[in-house]
Amino acid sequence: MSTISQEDYLKAVYVFKETKEDAVTTTELARKLEVSNAAISDMSKKLDGLGLINYSRYKGMELTPDGEKTALKVIRRHRLWELFLVEALGLSWTEVHDEAELLEHKTSDFLIDKIDEYLNFPGFDPHGYPIPDKNGNLPVEPESIPLSVCETGKYYRIAKVNDDIRELIHFFEKIGLTLKKKIKVVERLAFDNSITIRVDSVNHTISEKIAENIFLTKEGEK
């Protein structure tokens, strides 16, 4: 990818903001969007001039209220398209991210509002991420923790998974992990912090790195 759209840039800054308190750095954004640091710097200056971000060369970038509003509109389109593709067309959650990446830039507000209505105004996409409403408001997310810090011997339910990496989503699907699936944390290996989980009566051992991309809510003891 050699170019970057304003919408992709603003969406990426917002997504970073969801997981970190500090301003987003040029290097972080360049890595995520697969462009050069120079391309990020050029776009940062442009969007700063348009009042969509606050950018400092050495401090990184943050969205302004107008920039956040634009980012939330893109995220709304993306997440509604993902859910529509799953619910209406029967695609799996491994297939919808890339399609939604294309559709999010080509959909009118009128059509996305109709899709929202068709889906009965959902709160979350197929991977567990909140869907902004037409005014940019987000639903309250259930309190969740990454699998990497869950207690052994306890039961949990899948609340959200990282959908940025297709290989990960394919792996989750392969072992039967889906949204709201109940699992048990069976064992943690102290040597490398890998974790064994039980999914549908079958044990699977996964690495700590993968476990950091699965978020769960606590379930009952049985």
CATH code 3.40.50.1370 for 72-141: no
pLDDT in tens, 21-33: 778 888 889 888 8
Residues of CATH 2.30.30.90 domain(s) within the chain?
145-218
CATH topology of domain 145-218: SH3 type barrels. (2.30.30)
Minimum mean pLDDT range among 8-17, 18-27, 129-138, 156-165: 18-27
pLDDT in tens, 37-91: 899 999 999 999 999 999 987 788 999 999 999 999 999 999 999 999 999 999 9
Amino acid, res. 203: N
Residues 183-191: contacts with CB within 8 Å, 24+ apart?
183/155, 183/156, 183/157, 183/158, 183/216, 184/153, 184/154, 184/155, 184/156, 185/147, 185/150, 185/151, 185/152, 185/153, 185/154, 185/155, 185/156, 186/152, 186/153, 187/152, 188/152
Amino acid, res. 212: E
User: How many helices (H) and strands (E) would you count in the chain?
Assistant: 8, 8
* H/E element, 6: helix 6-19
pLDDT band per the 50, 70, 90 thresholds, residue 2: very low
154 vs 164, which has greater pLDDT? 154
The whole-angstrom separation of Cα 151 and Cα 88 is 37
Residues of CATH 1.10.10.10 domain(s) within the chain?
6-63, 72-141
State both tokens at 56: 């400092």
Q: Is the model's pLDDT at 1 over the cut of 50?
A: no
| Closest residue by Cα to residue 127 from 102, 154, 95, 104 | 95
- For the whole model, what pTM was predicted? 0.88
What pLDDT is recorded for position 221?
Answer: 57
CB 186 within 8 A of CB 197: yes
What pLDDT is recorded for position 94?
Answer: 86
CATH topology of domain 6-63: Arc Repressor Mutant, subunit A (1.10.10)
State both tokens at 30: 């360049």
Cα torsion for 92, 17, 38, 73, to the nearest 10°?
A: 60
The whole-angstrom separation of Cα 168 and Cα 174 is 10
DSSP at 148: G
What is the total residue count of the chain?
222
